[in-house]
Chains A and B, each alone.
Chain A
């Protein structure tokens, strides 16, 4: 359902050209949990932006859910993001001084979901993200880091998107909350069959995924589905204690 074929991204500043992505191709199927890894400057952020429909490739095609999105305009991309993609950011990016519920309902507002339906859907996805119900009316600045990131995950889920794209979601969290948040992603993938792409530069974080795509200098260095299994089994055992 994600099919990236031969995409390149070239940034030109004046005379110099930077090739951030160089003829990259891969496929990701529905229900996969993929980590995209690479050091800074490897092109993984550029790849994330293109996969998240925030940017378009200079050449090549990107087919998301059967639709070629590689040549769309700004507003058309916004429309695709609204329907198909849920974002989780490193910096959380919740609206300050706004309640948890309102934050989660925000994407529904832009998607023209009737008001009556919004709260119900927001509560459903907050539950899926594992946030305690007593926090729903809290302002986002009254929550801990782990709670904030779960609100952000709930916001990414609320539109029922084809793809959840998490960009360094644990970069600002301590190791304990990191584990909670990554367990949440695993559970969403295992139990709800969500397609998740996790962008990270940390090996431990990437191991939570079932497949790791390593990017370096604009190329795919390796695409590996074997070395993560151990962690996944560990995860499956740990899952019941999460609730």
Chain B
């Protein structure tokens, strides 16, 4: 029996029962398509989360103060980041003494009522040092960011985000017209000198709904003290991050006169570890989606086996005849194996196309940038072929081992 004969026999057998073959194939199509599409969506979600973490800036270490502790008292902790343990002096010391640093940005963040010409909004007002623009990737489209001179001279100038701009000056406000206008933050008048570029509202806080003012001004007029809410450190490279984190920790422990590192009154968030955590979370999520899709693939495989068993029973007499005229066990077994293999391979191919289409539509509709990996296509193809062999094996073996005498007499 040549392989051409085998394919011809398979084609004849499958086309004799097109509806049944088609429906059985549908099980595999749905299984494979959902594996491809869901894994692509999972990967897309992972990439999207990573890019929003990266949009914070690159090679970033974020130092925040620890919780206010009532030493020896009973009172409740006010929560991490609330204590006044991180000062401008600390930030300057880090900048001066820790090596491998590109920039250190100081930040005093709080929410205030901001008013302009009768409109008002409640937004985050960030007192920052000029380095913040570099460290956090803040770009000013119109006007300028403030300089270190303006920080030192306690200038009352502000750079606002595009969302804050439309909130205060109306939806059709143009950045160029807004510059030079005055706004009141907590009743104090500031002059707008710049508008930042939209970053998109992703991430932990909306970086487009922001007002940036010089850190010294914020400390003097708004916060009432030189206590920072955040110090952002940009390391020179990803490799240097661990060293910078260790050195910064040691420096701050020493400055705060704390000997036990577990009692530290500050914490340092490493961007790399945030990315790693997020990756592992989305990786688990992708795996979960894949597993659910895998179950539907398994059900599809059982459908194949069911169809093949029905087909073997229906064609018992045919099998008997084939054996009587000289087909050996391998001939019969190959014929039925190829039938299930053809079903799953065609089903798998259609499923891959459908899965890619779903991923494409997800991307095209702007829901999520789903990314189909070549690996998942190869895997899906391999899996569908394997299903054909695994779930076709038992029916094929049953057919091959039939006794020709009983098979010929089968009613």
Q: Is A169 an interface residue (CB 8 A)?
A: no
Scoring A residues 104 to 121 as 1 if CB is less than 8 Å from chain B, else 0, what string do you get?
Answer: 001101111001000000
Q: How far is the CA of A212 from the CA of B364 in the complex (A)?
A: 82
Q: How far is the CA of A155 from the CA of B5 in the complex (A)?
A: 17
Residues facing B in A85-117 (CB within 8 A) are 86-87, 89, 91, 93, 95-98, 106-107, 109-112, 115
Q: Is A78 an interface residue (CB 8 A)?
A: yes
Q: How far is the CA of A106 from the CA of B325 in the complex (A)?
A: 8
Report A-chain residues with C-beta under 8 Å of the C-beta of B322: 106, 110
Report B-chain residues with C-beta under 8 Å of the C-beta of A106: 322, 325
Known: A54-B404, A82-B326. A93 touches B12 (CB 8 A): no
Q: Is B150 an interface residue (CB 8 A)?
A: no
Q: Are A74 and B329 in contact (CB under 8 A)?
A: yes
Q: Are A52 and B326 in contact (CB under 8 A)?
A: no
How far, in Å, is B339 (CB) from chain A's closest CB?
15
Candidates B5, B318, B330, B405; contact of A49 at CB < 8 Å: B405
Scoring A residues 73 to 87 as 1 if CB is less than 8 Å from chain B, else 0, what string do you get?
Answer: 011001101110011
How far, in Å, is B1 (CB) from chain A's closest CB?
6
Q: How far is the CA of A110 from the CA of B321 in the complex (A)?
A: 12
Report A-chain residues with C-beta under 8 Å of the C-beta of B325: 81-82, 86-87, 106-107, 110, 155, 159
Q: Is B246 an interface residue (CB 8 A)?
A: no
Report A-chain residues with C-beta under 8 Å of the C-beta of B408: 89, 91, 93
How far, in Å, is B403 (CB) from chain A's closest CB?
8
How far, in Å, is A156 (CB) from chain B's closest CB?
8
Q: Are B324 and A87 in contact (CB under 8 A)?
A: yes
Scoring B residues 315 to 350 as 1 if CB is less than 8 Å from chain A, else 0, what string do you get?
Answer: 001101111111111110000000000000000000
Report B-chain residues with C-beta under 8 Å of the C-beta of A74: 328-329
Q: Which DSSP category, helix, strand, loop or mixed, fits chain B's interface? A: helix
Q: Which residue of B lies closest to A74 (CB)?
A: B329
Q: Is B117 an interface residue (CB 8 A)?
A: no
Q: Is B16 an interface residue (CB 8 A)?
A: yes
Q: How far is the CA of A95 from the CA of B319 in the complex (A)?
A: 10
Q: Is B18 an interface residue (CB 8 A)?
A: no
Report A-chain residues with C-beta under 8 Å of the C-beta of B1: 109-110, 112
Q: Is B2 an interface residue (CB 8 A)?
A: yes
Report A-chain residues with C-beta under 8 Å of the C-beta of B331: 110
Q: Which residue of A lies closest to B325 (CB)?
A: A107
Report B-chain residues with C-beta under 8 Å of the C-beta of A107: 325-326
Known: A93-B320, A95-B318, A110-B331. A78 touches B326 (CB 8 A): yes
Q: Which residue of B lies closest to A98 (CB)?
A: B12
Report A-chain residues with C-beta under 8 Å of the C-beta of B404: 54
Q: Are B405 and A91 in contact (CB under 8 A)?
A: no
Per the CB 8 Å criterion, the residue count for chain B at the interface is 23
How far, in Å, is B66 (CB) from chain A's closest CB?
80
Q: How far is the CA of A112 from the CA of B5 in the complex (A)?
A: 10
Report A-chain residues with C-beta under 8 Å of the C-beta of B327: 78, 82, 110
How far, in Å, is A101 (CB) from chain B's closest CB?
13
Candidates A52, A82, A115; contact of B2 at CB < 8 Å: A115
Report B-chain residues with C-beta under 8 Å of the C-beta of A93: 317-318, 320-321, 324, 408
Report A-chain residues with C-beta under 8 Å of the C-beta of B317: 91, 93
Residues facing B in A118-163 (CB within 8 A) are 155, 159
Report B-chain residues with C-beta under 8 Å of the C-beta of A109: 1-2, 5
Q: How far is the CA of A240 from the CA of B105 in the complex (A)?
A: 113
Q: How far is the CA of A75 from the CA of B325 in the complex (A)?
A: 12
Report A-chain residues with C-beta under 8 Å of the C-beta of B320: 93
Report A-chain residues with C-beta under 8 Å of the C-beta of B324: 52, 54, 81, 87, 89, 93
Q: How far is the CA of A222 from the CA of B408 in the complex (A)?
A: 29
Q: Are A79 and B326 in contact (CB under 8 A)?
A: yes
Q: How far is the CA of A109 from the CA of B5 in the complex (A)?
A: 7
* Most central of B320, B324, B327 by chain A CB within 10 Å: B324
Q: How far is the CA of A33 from the CA of B248 in the complex (A)?
A: 106
Scoring A residues 159 to 176 as 1 if CB is less than 8 Å from chain B, else 0, what string do you get?
Answer: 100000000000000000
Report A-chain residues with C-beta under 8 Å of the C-beta of B4: 115
Known: A98-B12, A109-B5. A78 touches B323 (CB 8 A): yes
* Most central of A55, A110, A159 by chain B CB within 10 Å: A110
Q: Which residue of B lies closest to A118 (CB)?
A: B5
Report A-chain residues with C-beta under 8 Å of the C-beta of B5: 109
Ordered nearest first, which 9 A-B pairs have the shortest CB separation? A82-B326, A78-B328, A107-B325, A93-B321, A75-B328, A110-B326, A81-B326, A109-B5, A110-B327
Contacts A/B (CB < 8 Å), 26 sampled: A49-B405, A55-B405, A74-B329, A75-B328, A75-B329, A78-B326, A78-B327, A81-B324, A86-B325, A87-B324, A89-B324, A89-B408, A91-B317, A93-B320, A93-B324, A95-B318, A106-B322, A106-B325, A109-B1, A109-B2, A110-B1, A110-B322, A110-B326, A110-B327, A111-B326, A112-B1
Chain B residues with a Cβ under 8 A of chain A: 1-2, 4-5, 12, 16, 317-318, 320-331, 404-405, 408
Chain A residues with a Cβ under 8 A of chain B: 49, 52, 54-55, 74-75, 78-79, 81-83, 86-87, 89, 91, 93, 95-98, 106-107, 109-112, 115, 155, 159
For the A-B complex with A75-B330, A81-B326, A155-B325 known, give 16 more contacts whose Cβ atoms are closer than 8 Å. Answer: A54-B404, A55-B405, A74-B329, A82-B326, A86-B325, A87-B325, A93-B321, A97-B16, A106-B322, A106-B325, A109-B2, A110-B1, A110-B322, A110-B328, A111-B326, A112-B2
